[in-house]
Structure 1
Amino acid sequence: MLENPRFRLGFSMLVLFTLLAGDAWRLALGWWFFGALTIALTLVAAWLLWLQRARWGVGGMPLPLLTFLALAMASIFWSHYPGATALGLFTTWIIVINAVALAVTFTWAELLRGLGLVLRFVLGVSLLFELFVSGVLRDRLLPFFGQPGVDYESYDRIPGMLMWSRNELFDVFGDGRIQGIVGNANSLGFLALLAVIVFSIQLASSRRQPGAVSRRWGTVWLVLAAATILMTKSATVTLAVVGVAAVLVIALMVRRARTARGRLVVYGASVVAVAASVTAFIVFRAELLELLGKSADLTGRLGIWAKVIDLAQQRPAFGWGWVSYWVPWADPFDDLVFRSGVRQLQAHNTWLDVAFQLGLVGLIVFAALVGAALVKAWQHAVDRPQKAPDAPQRYSAITLLPLLLLVALVVQSLAESRLITEYGLAFLVIVAVKTKRRELL
């Protein structure tokens, strides 16, 4: 079955869709269905890892990843909420097992193809969904299965944040934002950014390479992904676009440099450009925030961060205990942060969340994991291909995939906590494992 192309494509697409658009499953079919599906996929993933046990092992896994997982598991002994920590560890291991199975079982080309198909489906169905809501229903749409613990009885009083769709497709040239099947504009916008990365790499790949697409349809989907980013109006995604574009330009310049001295010049100029950009952001932050449509408190994030920092300082070394996404029924999450009448289940900053849950020790370990993955992804993208001395050096576009995915996630981590759950953690694990194994294609 491992060699069956239909099984390989079907399994990879189902896992990738569940990681990327898990909200769609939960909003449409409920948490019980979502839980059963993820457990079933995890059993299959574990079986695939068992079949390939000779190809991987503890020694083949990145040390920072193993250290981080060990620290998270150990935190149950000092956790303020041991039951929530046990649940958080369960969901974390589900993500890690599926991610490692994807990393070990599939090549980068296969993952590129699977991502391309899944993201086309998510974007296409999301646009049709919003068109149906605005063109046929002409009213806000509640999820079929809502968020646990939320009272959905009074329709008029339900915050827009809890709506599956806010019926704003025809108002996108005003203040409207579309949310798609994932029910969240920021999430849909980030998936559209991932789609831009994937579709661009597919277009840049040779037609003979797996995962490549026809130029006509590839261009159509690339335009739709870019349009979706514009219609979600996410400031976080806008910054991620800038970050990804900057890293891509630097990587391409390094690739074109023929000598070590040339590469040093590119690196030096890049450091100066980054320093100038950071300085400009600090000096003109008020104007830039206004341009991005953000308030001075970053849409309430500063207040959330202040509360999380206060909690982190109470347990600075090892934190309050691992939980990943906050559990709404456990203290202190039950009444920690509310925004627009909605209980918040994350710190809206991955690094503060890790510091709060696992303390300074956990933050250092997690930073080592992300940093090592970034360094290896960079080497993966810019190292010269191993060719015969007299052969032309031709880089493959697909070697940029892990770097650009990780850069997008790191930028997102400054305003969201996705890097420690669902697709964020999964892609971090995939990149860390595959670059550790030195798999280039």
Structure 2
Amino acid sequence: MRYPVDATTKALSVLVVFTAFAGDFWRNLLGWWGYLALVAAITAAVAVLMTRRGLWRRLDPRRLPRTLLLLATLMVLSLAWSAYPGATVLGILAQAATTLCALFLAVANGWPQLALAASRAFTAILGLSVAFELVAAIFVRQPVLPFFTDYSGQKVPNAFYWTQADLFTGGPIQGIVGNRNLLAFVALLALVTVGVLLAQKLVRTRPAVAWLVTAVVVLALTRSATVIAALVVTAGMLGVLLLARRVGPGRRMGVAVATAALAVAAVVAVSASWSTLLGLFGKSDDLTGRVDIWNSVVSLASERPVFGWGWVSYWVPWVEPFDGLAVRNGVTYLQAHDAWLDVWLQLGFVGLALFAFFVLGSWHRSWWFAVDTSLDGRGRPLPHLAVTLAPALILTALLVQSLVESRLLVEGGWLLLVAIGVKSKIEQTDVGLDLTGIETVPKAAPVATAP
């Protein structure tokens, strides 16, 4: 399958990924109405471009993941029994816009182009975050609140600040996304995407190494325990994938069994030293209030266990049962801080099963995409390619994050999950990897601009 490589497609792909992962940046900068106008404009641009380029033809429903189609259908049908139909309509619209953008990424880009677009978006977030924190620390020298929000006459919780201007005190820094965990996760994804592109020689070495160092520094300054855990697991998965490539098809089952055994051993070790590990990262035994939130969600979900309360994506704090469901230190939380609990709460066991099958199916296809031998356009085997590791590594990071955050269901998490899930499915029977972005690189010249 061939893909357009024009400047418009490239720029729109980068903007889509940037906006999905830096939504709080736009909301803090432009306010909610400005953000909604921007999202509407991007969604319209995606729809128009897909129509003008004839990209809709690549989305044959018979080749799309059935579990995704069923899950999306259940989201819409949940309007019939939703306890908050107005919020469900808003949630469906938000989910539809994000899904459309994910489909665009999947059908408008080959795997190399998709990795390049993602890396450019992630490094842009990192670069702007460092610049933002520098300006706040040098010139402002005090915490910065979001623009277009009136906090007069009320005590503002620390979580509401855009940045605490703590760069020169060792952090934790929050960057343009206004949250250290989100910024750290972007740094992790930058490590993955820039790393595979550098290994594939699709980017210049010096700028790529500079971005990798920047990502490591940002990870250190955010001090996010959850992302550090995701980094360790993702690094371990990289080792497993490389080992599976090396041993060949006949021994990959042994690699899988050994990996499962090591995972069980790791869980046991972590459980035995749980309090000590949390102390190292300055966390309490309740994971900064997450345990209380999980207990509240489990109790509420148990009241409607089969089909849930109705889809809403982000919680809507002005309607029941979300008003007062999870409040800590004056902050009302808009998620269950666990994607799986959130799906159960909103769509019940039926939705949870569909979601699990979609996620596991996407990861399974990404695993084989990473370890199998790729074929060129004529069906000839190619050497193992570094860029084919990216989908499995990104999904691994997303899955680890999904245990303590619900971001897999919204914005950037859902965008990448659907893009990878759909792309790995619709190309499953094709001859293999589209290498347009690799074949056009001059061998004797620098291979590409930095991400």
The partner residue of 1:171 within 157, 169, 172 is: 169
- 1:153-187 residue CA offsets vs partner (Å, 9 max, x unmatched): 147x3111000011111121xxx300000111111
1:124 corresponds in structure 2 to 127
2:4–2:109 Cα contact (<8 Å) kept: no
Aligned equivalents of 1:339 and 1:123: distance in 2?
29
1:375 corresponds in structure 2 to 364
1:39 aligns with 2:28: no
2:281 corresponds in structure 1 to 292
How far residue 277 of structure 1 moved from its aligned partner, in angstroms, is 0.6
1:351 corresponds in structure 2 to 340
1:5 corresponds in structure 2 to 6
1:61 aligns with 2:64: yes
How far residue 46 of structure 1 moved from its aligned partner, in angstroms, is 2.0
2:376–2:433 Cα contact (<8 Å) kept: no
2:394 corresponds in structure 1 to 405
Look up the SS of the partner of 1:346 in the other structure.
coil
Q: TM-score, normalised by structure 2?
A: 0.91
Mapping of 1:362-441 within 5 angstroms? 362-386=351-375, 394-438=383-427, 440-441=433-434
1:249 aligns with 2:252: no
How far residue 48 of structure 1 moved from its aligned partner, in angstroms, is 3.4
Aligned equivalents of 1:387 and 1:5: distance in 2?
22
1:112–1:198 Cα contact (<8 Å) kept: yes
Aligned equivalents of 2:372 and 2:75: distance in 1?
34
Amino acid at match of 1:213: V
Aligned equivalents of 1:201 and 1:129: distance in 2?
27
The partner residue of 2:263 within 267, 271, 274 is: 274
* Residues 252, 4 of structure 1: alpha-carbon distance in 2 compared, 3 angstrom cutoff: closer
Aligned equivalents of 1:60 and 1:425: distance in 2?
19
1:48–1:105 Cα contact (<8 Å) kept: no
1:26–1:145 Cα contact (<8 Å) kept: no
Amino acid at match of 2:160: L
How far residue 258 of structure 1 moved from its aligned partner, in angstroms, is 3.5
Aligned equivalents of 1:400 and 1:241: distance in 2?
15
Amino acid at match of 1:168: D
1:319 corresponds in structure 2 to 308
2:446 corresponds in structure 1 to none
Aligned equivalents of 1:274 and 1:85: distance in 2?
38
Q: Any unmatched runs of 5+ in structure 1?
A: 207-211
* Residues 278, 3 of structure 1: alpha-carbon distance in 2 compared, 3 angstrom cutoff: closer
Amino acid at match of 2:71: F
Aligned equivalents of 2:249 and 2:133: distance in 1?
51
Aligned equivalents of 2:168 and 2:178: distance in 1?
17
The partner residue of 1:73 within 73, 76, 82 is: 76
How far residue 398 of structure 1 moved from its aligned partner, in angstroms, is 0.6
Aligned residues: 424
Look up the SS of the partner of 2:323 in the other structure.
helix
Q: Any unmatched runs of 5+ in structure 2?
A: 435-451
2:226 corresponds in structure 1 to 236
RMSD over equivalenced CA pairs, Å: 1.7
How far residue 321 of structure 1 moved from its aligned partner, in angstroms, is 0.3
Aligned equivalents of 2:146 and 2:272: distance in 1?
42
Amino acid at match of 2:190: A
Q: TM-score, normalised by structure 1?
A: 0.93
Aligned equivalents of 1:417 and 1:264: distance in 2?
31
Amino acid at match of 1:63: R
1:72–1:321 Cα contact (<8 Å) kept: yes
How far residue 283 of structure 1 moved from its aligned partner, in angstroms, is 1.6
Amino acid at match of 2:158: G
Aligned equivalents of 1:89 and 1:54: distance in 2?
24
- 1:1-43 residue CA offsets vs partner (Å, 9 max, x unmatched): x957221111111111111111111100111111111112212
The partner residue of 2:146 within 140, 143, 146 is: 143
Aligned equivalents of 1:233 and 1:387: distance in 2?
42
Mapping of 1:210-229 within 5 angstroms? 212-229=202-219
Aligned equivalents of 1:220 and 1:182: distance in 2?
21
2:25–2:176 Cα contact (<8 Å) kept: yes
